[in-house]
Amino acid sequence: MSAPEKDIISPAGYRPAPDLFRILCQTASLLTVLMLGWIIYEILESAWPSIQKFGFDFMTTSAWVPNRERFGVLPFIIGTVASSLLAILLAFPLGVAIAIFLSENFLSASIRQTMRFVVEMLAAIPSVVYGLWGIFVIIPIVKAFGDWAVGSMGDFPLFSGPAYGNSLLTASVVLAIMILPTITAISRNALASVPKTLREGAYALGSTRWEAIFSVILPTAAPGIVAATILGLGRAMGETMAVAMLIGNSSRLSWSILSPSGTLAGLLANQFGEAQGLQVNSLMYAALILIGITLIVNLLGEAVLRHTQKQTAGIR
């Protein structure tokens, strides 16, 4: 009597088959993790000769003369940071305004929907198309603005002449448009996750719309908006093609935002194709620095975002 019962539960000689699919999935996971290691290893290995030769000086010197084997990326680090910060400065007010526009009901829902679509379209346009558009539209505008600015504010170092079309400002204007969707989307999420009850609380006390926005809604969403800004900064720093096409790719340091400048990503885009010997190693080194900078910025942004989500979970 008991034998057949036992058979149903664990038939004689039964061994659960190894789940091959599980092993396959586990292998894929392992490969994904190893991918990052592989990336770092390949770049580090190729950069090694340059790291050994130049060490830390690579980041603090500003000569980039391939035929004399002198390499220093200070101007490109500064250019990366400066162009991104200027882009953020331009994009932040716009991005937050659009995020507020999208989360408030100034205009009908269909207009808001259209606006959302516009912002998504901006995100979908390839970087190289922004570059092409910038050459034809933004360069002439910035050049005209630059000539005027040099004339009226030229004593101020940021606007000292001569004004160029391919300049830090040109690149930053286009970068600002390119990172607008990032800033808008994350800020909008932050605003949308402000509990409805807080909004109602502010209105019930007699706030006008903007009193509610400034005193309750924005402060509550502030960490999320900060995260949006940091992540936008990270995107701007890694952005390559549009910047390479517009910034002028100069390694000369200048205070003026109307002068050509250069970024790490732009340097890589311009020189890798024809690089030889130590130049390749130095470009790899520059790539490592770019990875380092963007990684720090992105991790910071993610950390703020995660903290924010925890905090709003607390308010709810």
Partner 1 sequence: MDSIASHSLDFFDGDRSVSSKTVARSVTNRILSGICITLSLLTLVPLASIIILLLQKGLPLLGTAIFTELPPAAGMSGGGFGNAILGTLVMIAIGLAISAPAGILSAIFINEYAPTSRLAQAVRLVAKLLTGIPSIICGVFAFAAVVMTTGTFSAYAGGLALAVLMLPTILLTAEQALMGVQSAYREAALGLGATRFQTIARVVLPDAFPAIMTGVMLAVARAAGETAPLIFTALFSQFWAKSLNEPTASLSVLIYNFSTVPFPHQIGMAWTASLVLVAFVTIANIAAQTIFSRKN
Partner 2 sequence: MQISNEAPAKLTTDHTNPPERPDFISVKDFNFFYGKKQALHTINMDIPERQVTAFIGPSGCGKSTLLRNFNRMNELIDGIHHTGDIRILGKSIYDKGVEVISLRRSIGMVFQKSNPFPKSIYENVVFALRISGISKKSDLDECVERSLRGAALWNEVKDRLHESALGLSGGQMQRLCIARAIANRPKVLLMDEPCSALDPIATVKVEELIRELKRQFTIVIVTHNMQQATRCSDKTAFFYLGKLVEYADTPKIFSNPSEKQTEDYITGRFG
| Residue numbers 88-117 binding partner 2 by CB under 8 A | 105, 109
Residue whose CB is less far from partner 2, 181 or 223 = 223
Select the residue interacting with partner 1 from 81, 122, 198, 278 (CB under 8 A): 122
Angle between helices 139-153 and 168-192 (to 10 degrees): 110
Contact between 309 and partner 1 (CB under 8 A)?
no
Which segment (10-18, 46-54, 199-207, 288-296) binds partner 2 by CB under 8 A?
A: 199-207
- CB-based contact 54:285 (threshold 8 Å): yes
Select the residue interacting with partner 2 from 151, 219, 277, 292 (CB under 8 A): 219
- CB-based contact 225:182 (threshold 8 Å): no
What radius of gyration, in Å, describes the C-alpha atoms of the chain?
26
Contact between 192 and partner 2 (CB under 8 A)?
no
| Maximum distance among all Cα pairs of the chain, rounded to whole angstroms | 104
The DSSP secondary-structure symbol of 156 reads S
Contact between 171 and partner 1 (CB under 8 A)?
no
Give the burial class of 309: count Cβ atoms within 10 A of its Cβ; 0-12 exposed, 13-18 middle, 19 or more buried: middle
Contact between 192 and partner 1 (CB under 8 A)?
no
Direct distance between the N- and C-terminal alpha carbons of the chain, in angstroms, rounded to an integer: 60
Contact between 240 and partner 1 (CB under 8 A)?
yes
74 binds, among partner 1, partner 2, none (CB under 5 to 8 A by kind): none
Contact between 193 and partner 2 (CB under 8 A)?
no
Residue whose CB is less far from partner 1, 158 or 289 = 289
Contact between 29 and partner 1 (CB under 8 A)?
yes
113 binds, among partner 1, partner 2, none (CB under 5 to 8 A by kind): none
Residue whose CB is less far from partner 2, 15 or 196 = 196
Residue whose CB is less far from partner 2, 67 or 105 = 105
Q: DSSP letters of 160-182?
A: -S---SSSHHHHHHHHHHHHHHH
Helix, coil or strand: residue 247: coil
